[in-house]
């Protein structure tokens, strides 16, 4: 949801980048460790303003939560991705490895649709409050050599 929102803001509204990516980096099998990453390309003079806008959007999602349209769009994308993944051996291999590493019940693999359906704007808002602490972030900027 954050990636979609940032794409809309940074690319469509501000016109200052073509791509935005948001992802979780987590070393398995250490459950609970990891970090969220937001990446985008921009002209050096636009980086600070765009970074500020990213933080503003995270803060907005923490305080107000996402719109129902954004939640429904993300859920539909997740459903389609899951349906596609079910047909791929790589998906099954990764899921079986994860179940084995964490000792979770194997039946959880097929409960994804119900877990997707359970996502609400309020649950997403709680995730942003918990996993995006605005007092703890690192900004790394790569700029061209002069």
- The full DSSP string for 108-129 is GGGGHHHHHHT--HHHHHHHHH
CATH of the domain at 91: 3.30.830.10
The pLDDT assigned to 104 comes to: 86
Residue 103 lies in a domain: yes
**Residue 138 forms part of a structural domain:** no
Based on the structure, what is the number of domains in the chain? 1
Consecutive 10-residue averages of pLDDT for the chain (146 residues) = 91 85 80 83 89 94 96 96 93 90 87 95 95 89 81
Q: Please report whether residue 36 resides in a domain.
A: yes
Does a structural domain hold residue 52? Answer: yes
| 123/65 Cα distance (integer angstroms) | 9
- Give pLDDT, residue 28: 67
Position 145 scores a pLDDT of: 81
Q: Which residues contact 60 (CB under 8 A, 6 or more apart)?
A: none
| SS3 at position 98 | helix
pLDDT for 83 equals: 94
Q: What pLDDT is attached to residue 40?
A: 92
Residue 62 in any domain: the answer is yes
**Could you give the C-alpha distances from 130 to 3, 36, 56, 94, in angstroms and in order?**
18, 12, 16, 26
The domain in which residue 88 lies consists of 2-131
């Amino acid at each position: 949801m954050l990636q979609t929102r940032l794409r809309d803001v940074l690319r469509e509204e501000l016109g200052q980048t073509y791509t935005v990516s948001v992802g979780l980096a987590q070393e398995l099998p250490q459950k609970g460790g990891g970090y969220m990453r937001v990446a985008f390309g921009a002209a050096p003079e636009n980086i600070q303003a765009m970074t500020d806008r990213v933080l503003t959007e995270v803060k907005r999602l923490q305080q107000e939560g996402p719109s129902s349209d954004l939640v429904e769009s993300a859920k539909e994308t997740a459903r389609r991705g899951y349906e596609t993944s079910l047909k791929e051996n790589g998906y099954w291999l990764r899921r079986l490895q994860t179940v084995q590493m964490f000792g979770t019940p194997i039946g959880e693999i097929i409960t994804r649709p119900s877990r997707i359906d359970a996502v609400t704007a309020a649950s997403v808002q709680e995730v942003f409050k918990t996993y995006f602490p605005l007092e703890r972030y690192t900004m790394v900027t790569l700029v061209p050599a002069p």
